[in-house]
Amino acid sequence: MILINVKFTARREYADSWMARVDAFTRATREEPGNIFFEWSRSVDDPQVYVLLEAFADAEAGAAHVNSDHFKTAMAELPQAIAAKPQIIYVEAPVDGWGEMAELTPAD
């Protein structure tokens, strides 16, 4: 699978409305056949920073995503809402989704 982590720094005036701003993009991406997950988190240290964890089944699914209308729309709209160029980690991982962590199990 393709695993992508993107760190966005929202402009201060958009930090609290970021999730509403990316809602349509998020919903449309999650409906893509090759999407495995598309999950947002907000930093506990900096309320302007959001991290997107996304995974796609393979390169073809990733290509379909970046060529989709909703991706193109997001890329056209988000520059007005970001304070810095996003940072990205992109890797091809030899797995097909989440696995269990070996070192930790819930207590009884």
Closest CA to 87 of 5, 2, 1: 5
The stretch 82-98 carries a mean pLDDT of 95
Distance of CA 77 to the CA centre of its chain: 16
CA distance 62 to 60: 5
> What pTM value is reported for the model?
0.92
The stretch 4-27 carries a mean pLDDT of 98
CA distance 96 to 39: 16
The stretch 76-101 carries a mean pLDDT of 95
User: Quick one: which H or E segment has residue 77?
Assistant: helix 69-77
Specify which residues 5 forms β-bridges with: 53, 89
